[in-house]
Structure 1
């Protein structure tokens, strides 16, 4: 698994996905997709994204991406997703076979 760059993590039930990057040894959440969620897509915290898939939350623009701790704080109802991201983050960070 590459250390730097964009990656995707999905919960074990397949209902939640986070696109995130490992930058400067920290996980940064870029986008979340909540499959089956019928709410309109937004750029965090509340800017409508009418052409994006329903159930999507994008962390960009002025707010920028959130680190994993920030994501846990602002979207605490998705701890299963943040736990999955954290597990993949540690696997990537500790992978001695990948260049730094």
Structure 2
């Protein structure tokens, strides 16, 4: 019986650690994405300057690939979650 309690306690600790790590990664991803605001002048429709600045390039290098890919997956699901047709880009 004591061994079962130990195993359950250990599992709860592992779950808590995994959850804490995911929250930390999520917060870090948000900070990385916020750093991309320096790239706005180069991606907004109608922008005359198509060459990114060194600050923009540094910000892009600072975003983890997993963060970027997860964000793009979430963005691509938003229209259907808002009862809109999927967006396609030429």
Fold equivalence (TM over 0.5) = no
TM-score normalized by the length of structure 1: 0.30
Larger Rg: 2
Q: 1 or 2, which has the higher helix percentage?
A: 2
Q: 1 or 2, which has the higher strand percentage?
A: 1
